């Protein structure tokens, strides 16, 4: 039966690609453009009208992250060491229940977050908000660690094991069940439904379309064949993704566990090579990042412009506050919900504080973010192509390494986001309809290869950031329960009870 589903999925993707190929690209762009305009008026409503603007959703993310960090007394710093021990398996017990290990859940979540937001998104943020956006990205990553901790903990606390053995967890569950505990069942269900819809649509944008449109730009620099036939790239990626996602979570988790560490090491090694090769410029680059973060007058409006771009891109990259990663963290095999929350702390740390910062240093050191020669690339919002130019300043063959990283990042993100969208689809329409979602997801991969990058960036921002509205409402309301679980867990840790549980097993 699985082979039959796979055949129909690939067949539908191929038919859809023929339709997309026959359609005029201008019509596709016009569709996304009109949709962007409508959604932006709601999601990106200006809290402080003027230039630069402060979109409501960005302010919402900032306030939520700061509130949770203070509420849990900087748990993002205090419990990192313990979280690492949990990640290594030290606190594994016989009572752990779930579909995948804590490490597999983390790598699957990282495969979704460590994507083109780290390469393309960072380049776009700096080209718009200046080097100062890097500083605010790091701040957002630090605060986002607490947000991820909260999401993962609640996902574990309110998860549900379905009759078929699959776990249903994430914001859908803690919104519906958590609000019901406060005698607000209807409100919870409405917010859960909103989140599920936004995630399904966001998976088509962030999880497939954005990844393809941005990675295509980098691939075209190395393989001219795809300049004339971009849809061929969409078909190749669609088939590669389809082979994995048809197999479900376990295949996704095993693939992520194998791919993610390797792709991160390859990319970081390349970035370090560039930085060390220009080590004399590093102090100046760091100084520029810090000073322009607070500059009253600079690119896109100085401090506010840099802050908005930094938080927007950090949210898109690490997904802290969106609630997406909570879906896979809910499947981790742990005894205490708080434990997976501590593992989740490492997501924004690795994704934003380490990887995004490395990309930013490469962009700033090489100066491509304000080079007149890259103006056309920047205006087209081709962030991956801009980073490719930065890599080319070191060696002619370095862009090939970046292209490999871009393809791996895009691929890993797509397979994980397909799971997020599929779970939300199953929440809305039932488990038996999941194959319909997978076919649609593959179709979006193909159509993204013939749509413009700029519209894809806008479309992705809108749909993904919209998820933060219902999710953060849940985090605010349920933060007291997380605080109680954290206090109880810390008391058990200090008393030695948790160590005795390990000895028993």
Task: Please spell the DSSP secondary structure of 160-216, one letter per residue.
Answer: EE-TTS-EE-SHHHHHHHHHHHTT-HHHHHHHHHHHHHHHHHHHHIIIIIHHHHHHH
Taking only the tens place, the pLDDT of each residue in 212-251 is 877 887 788 788 888 888 889 888 988 888 888 877 777 7
d(CA 428, CA 249): 18
d(CA 68, CA 73): 8
pLDDT at 305: 59
Taking only the tens place, the pLDDT of each residue in 402-419 is 788 888 888 888 888 888
Is residue 424, in this structure, part of any structural domain at all?
Answer: yes
- Lookup: tokens for 200: 């399904």
More confident residue, 85 or 20: 85
Is residue 247, in this structure, part of any structural domain at all?
Answer: yes
**Among 415, 420, 63, 109, CA closest to 241:** 415
Whether 257 has a pLDDT exceeding 60, the answer reads yes
- Lookup: tokens for 91: 């606190």
Is residue 39, in this structure, part of any structural domain at all?
Answer: yes
- Matching residue, tokens 């630069």: 52
| Confidence band for 8, pLDDT divided at 50, 70 and 90 | very low
pLDDT at 105: 86
**Residue 350, CA distances (Å) to 262, 346, 388, 502 in order:** 14, 6, 22, 28
Residues in the chain: 505
Whether 26 has a pLDDT exceeding 80, the answer reads no
Looking at residue 281, the DSSP 8-state letter turns out to be G
**Among 497, 110, 152, CA closest to 344:** 152
Is residue 474, in this structure, part of any structural domain at all?
Answer: yes
Query: What 3-state class would DSSP assign to 332?
Result: strand
Could you give the angle at which helices 185-204 and 398-429 cross, rounded to 10 degrees?
Answer: 140
pLDDT at 478: 94
Is residue 238, in this structure, part of any structural domain at all?
Answer: yes
d(CA 130, CA 150): 31
User: How wide is the angle at C-alpha 86 spanned by C-alphas 83 and 92, nearest 5°?
Assistant: 160
- Matching residue, tokens 């919870």: 188
- Lookup: tokens for 379: 């205006």
Whether residue 422 contacts residue 402, with contact meaning beta carbons closer than 8 Å, is answered with no
pLDDT at 15: 37
Q: What whole-number percentage of the chain has pLDDT above 70?
A: 81
Whether residue 361 contacts residue 123, with contact meaning beta carbons closer than 8 Å, is answered with no
| Confidence band for 3, pLDDT divided at 50, 70 and 90 | very low
Is residue 372, in this structure, part of any structural domain at all?
Answer: no
Sign of torsion, CA 304 305 308 313? Answer: negative
pLDDT at 17: 43
**Of the candidate ranges 13-27, 126-140, 432-446, the one whose mean pLDDT is the lowest:** 13-27
What number is the average pLDDT over the span 304-316? 67
pLDDT at 52: 55
What number is the average pLDDT over the span 433-445? 88
pLDDT at 186: 93
Taking only the tens place, the pLDDT of each residue in 321-331 is 888 889 989 98
What number is the average pLDDT over the span 262-289? 89
Q: What whole-number percentage of the chain has pLDDT above 90?
A: 23
Is residue 397, in this structure, part of any structural domain at all?
Answer: yes
Is residue 69, in this structure, part of any structural domain at all?
Answer: yes
**Of the candidate ranges 294-308, 330-344, 351-365, 410-424, the one whose mean pLDDT is the lowest:** 294-308
Number of domains composing the chain: 1
Whether 447 has a pLDDT exceeding 90, the answer reads no
Whether 190 has a pLDDT exceeding 60, the answer reads yes
pLDDT at 2: 40
Could you give the angle at which helices 122-129 and 383-392 cross, rounded to 10 degrees?
Answer: 90
pLDDT at 293: 80
List of residues 6+ apart from 497 with CB closer than 8 A: none
pLDDT at 195: 93
- Lookup: tokens for 145: 């660690």
Whether residue 140 contacts residue 132, with contact meaning beta carbons closer than 8 Å, is answered with no
Query: What 3-state class would DSSP assign to 114?
Result: coil
CATH number of the domain that residue 445 is part of: 1.20.1740
Q: Which domain covers residue 492, as residue numbers?
A: 2-365+377-504
Average pLDDT score, the chain? 80
pLDDT at 126: 83
Write down the pTM of the prediction.
0.82
- Lookup: tokens for 421: 């969208």
DSSP alpha helix (H) spans, 393-467: 398-429, 434-447, 453-466
| Confidence band for 158, pLDDT divided at 50, 70 and 90 | very high
Whether residue 327 contacts residue 167, with contact meaning beta carbons closer than 8 Å, is answered with no
d(CA 218, CA 216): 5
List of residues 6+ apart from 96 with CB closer than 8 A: 333, 334, 335
């Amino acid at each position: 039966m699985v082979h039959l589903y796979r055949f129909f999925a690939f067949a539908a993707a191929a038919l859809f690609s023929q339709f997309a190929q026959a359609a005029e690209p201008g019509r596709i762009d016009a569709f996304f453009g009109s949709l962007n305009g409508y959604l932006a008026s709601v999601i990106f409503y200006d809290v402080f009208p003027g230039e630069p603007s402060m979109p409501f959703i960005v302010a919402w993310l900032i306030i939520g992250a700061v509130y949770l960090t203070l509420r849990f007394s900087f748990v993002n710093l205090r419990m990192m060491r313990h979280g690492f021990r949990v990640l290594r398996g030290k606190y594994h017990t016989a009572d752990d229940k779930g579909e995948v290990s804590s490490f597999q859940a983390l790598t699957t979540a990282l495969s979704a977050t460590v994507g083109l937001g780290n390469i393309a998104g960072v380049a776009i943020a700096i080209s718009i908000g200046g080097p100062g956006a890097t500083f605010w990205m790091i701040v957002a990553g630090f605060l986002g660690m607490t947000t991820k901790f909260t999401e993962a903990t609640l996902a574990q606390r309110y998860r549900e094991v379905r009759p078929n053995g699959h776990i249903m967890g994430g914001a859908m569950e803690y919104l519906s069940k958590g609000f019901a505990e406060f005698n607000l069942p209807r409100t919870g269900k409405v917010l859960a439904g909103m989140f599920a819809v936004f995630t399904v649509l966001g998976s088509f944008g962030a999880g497939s379309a954005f990844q393809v449109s941005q990675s295509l730009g980098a691939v075209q620099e190395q393989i001219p064949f795809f300049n004339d036939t971009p849809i061929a790239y969409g078909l190749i990626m669609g088939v590669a993704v389809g082979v994995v996602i048809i197999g479900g979570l376990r295949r996704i988790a095993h693939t992520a566990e194998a791919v993610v560490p390797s792709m991160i090491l390859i990319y970081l090694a390349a970035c370090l090579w560039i930085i060390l090769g220009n080590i004399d410029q590093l102090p100046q680059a760091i100084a520029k990042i810090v000073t322009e973060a607070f500059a009253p007058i600079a690119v896109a409006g100085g401090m506010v412009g840099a802050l908005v771009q930094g938080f927007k891109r950090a949210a898109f990259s690490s997904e802290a506050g969106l609630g997406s990663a909570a879906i896979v963290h809910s499947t981790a095999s742990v005894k205490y919900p708080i434990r997976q929350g501590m593992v989740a702390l490492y997501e924004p740390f690795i994704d934003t504080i380490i990887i995004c910062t490395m990309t930013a240093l490469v962009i700033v050191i090489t100066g491509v973010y304000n080079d007149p020669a890259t103006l056309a690339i920047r205006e087209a919002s081709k962030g991956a192509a801009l980073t490719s130019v930065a890599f080319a300043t070191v060696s002619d063959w370095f862009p090939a390494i970046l292209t490999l990283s871009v393809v791996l990042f895009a691929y890993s993100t797509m397979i994980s986001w397909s799971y997020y969208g599929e779970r939300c689809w199953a929440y809305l329409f039932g488990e038996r309809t999941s194959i319909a979602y997978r076919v649609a997801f593959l179709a979006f991969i193909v159509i993204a290869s013939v749509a413009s990058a700029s519209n894809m960036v806008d479309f992705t921002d809108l749909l993904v950031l919209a998820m933060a509205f219902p999710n953060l409402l849940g985090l605010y309301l349920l933060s007291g329960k997380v605080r109680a679980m954290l206090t109880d867990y810390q008391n058990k840790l200090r008393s030695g009870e948790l160590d005795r549980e390990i000895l028993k097993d």
